[in-house]
Homo-oligomer: A and B are copies of this chain.
Amino acid sequence: MTKTAQSEPKSTSAAPRLTRARRTALLKALADPRRFELLERIAKSSCPLGCAQAKSALAISPATLSHHIKELETAGLIRVERVGKFHFLHLQPAVLEALAGLLCSLAQPNGAQG
């Protein structure tokens, strides 16, 4: 009850509400510097990022890259488009926006509680 005044920062696509577990998973996924850098790469690329580009951008072993990709995918931050033997990485902006909205609401006076 009383979910009044949920006016959060406008998101362009539907931002899902985050459960406690989900928000922790998201933050953990973002908290690794290489993973964040990878996500930045994906976000700033105009076309979906291929694994080869990701690998050369981060200078890590294939095993490690695969691990990080899975972490980001599991957290829901990216989507992996599998076409043939290549995988392409897409950002999922809504999840990022949901988290940003949560942090922003916390920063408001009284944590923007209802």
Contact = CB atoms under 8 A, between A and B. Distances in A.
A9 B105 CA distance: 12
A100 interface: yes
Interface stretch (A39-47, A63-71, A81-89): A39-47
A19 to B, nearest CB: 11
A110 B44 contact: yes
A57 interface: no
Contacts of A28: 31
A27 B30 contact: yes
Given A27-B31, A30-B27, A103 B96 contact: yes
Interface of A: 9, 20, 23-24, 27-28, 30-33, 36-37, 39-40, 43-46, 91, 93-94, 96-97, 99-101, 103-104, 106-108, 110-111, 113
Pick the 4 closest A-B CB pairs, nearest first. Answer: A43-B111, A44-B111, A93-B107, A27-B31
